[in-house]
């Protein structure tokens, strides 16, 4: 699993470098040439969608999302495990719904052969960030849940 985490980290870093580079190129183009690159807004927005989902999945693995650990830290370990599993189930339901509707959106974009306005790329490629990111988030939330349960069990033994 560590190789996939590293792959996600590298992909996220590359996306952020491309986003910054394209944005800077547009700013410099406007400042020095008085010409705006029309495709930059569309490209950065769509790349941000991928970056958001990849970042969310990485945070899910490391329990970096907003949580109420103040409440759960004082509970008995067995109850902490139950709550961790419950949270895993609820987030799975949320991302499963997001995956389903994202997949419907992508299939519709593919069926109607929609193109992006500025770049003329297939819209479904850009929309794929939603179901793909949702799938990654489910995997990482459960991975984080399993790691948390192992940590709690380790504290119970000591």
pLDDT digit string (tens) for the chain, length 158 residues? 789 999 999 999 999 999 999 999 999 999 999 999 989 999 999 999 999 999 999 988 887 777 767 778 888 989 989 988 998 899 999 999 999 999 999 999 999 999 999 999 999 999 999 999 999 999 999 998 898 899 888 888 87
Rounded Cα–Cα distance for residues 11 and 78 (Å): 37
Query: Who's near 92: CB < 8 A, 6+ residues apart?
Result: 138, 141, 142
* Largest interatomic CA distance in the chain: 67
Say if residues 131 and 106 touch (Cβ distance below 8 Å): yes
Q: Could you tell me which of 126, 141, 128, 133 has the C-alpha nearest to residue 85?
A: 141
Q: What is the pTM of this model?
A: 0.86
Q: Cα 61 to the chain's mean position, in Å?
A: 11
> CB under 8 Å to 1, separation ≥6 — which residues?
143
- Centre a 10 Å sphere on the Cβ of residue 95 and count the other Cβ atoms it contains: 25
Take residue 156 and report the two structure tokens written for it.
């119970």
């Amino acid at each position: 699993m560590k190789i996939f985490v590293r792959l996600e980290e590298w992909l996220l870093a590359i996306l952020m470098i491309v986003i910054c580079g394209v944005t800077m190129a547009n700013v410099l183009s406007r400042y020095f040439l008085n010409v705006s690159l029309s495709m930059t807004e569309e490209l950065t927005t769509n790349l941000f969608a991928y970056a958001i989902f990849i970042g969310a999945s990485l945070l899910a693995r490391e329990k970096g999302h907003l949580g109420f650990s103040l409440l759960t830290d004082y509970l008995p370990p067995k109850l902490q495990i139950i709550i961790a599993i419950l949270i895993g189930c609820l987030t799975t339901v949320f991302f499963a719904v997001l995956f389903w509707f994202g997949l419907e959106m992508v299939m519709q974009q593919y069926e109607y052969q929609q193109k992006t306005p500025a770049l003329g790329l297939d819209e479904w490629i850009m929309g794929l960030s939603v179901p793909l990111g949702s799938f990654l988030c489910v995997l990482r939330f459960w991975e984080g849940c399993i790691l948390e349960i192992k940590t709690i069990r380790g504290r119970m033994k000591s």
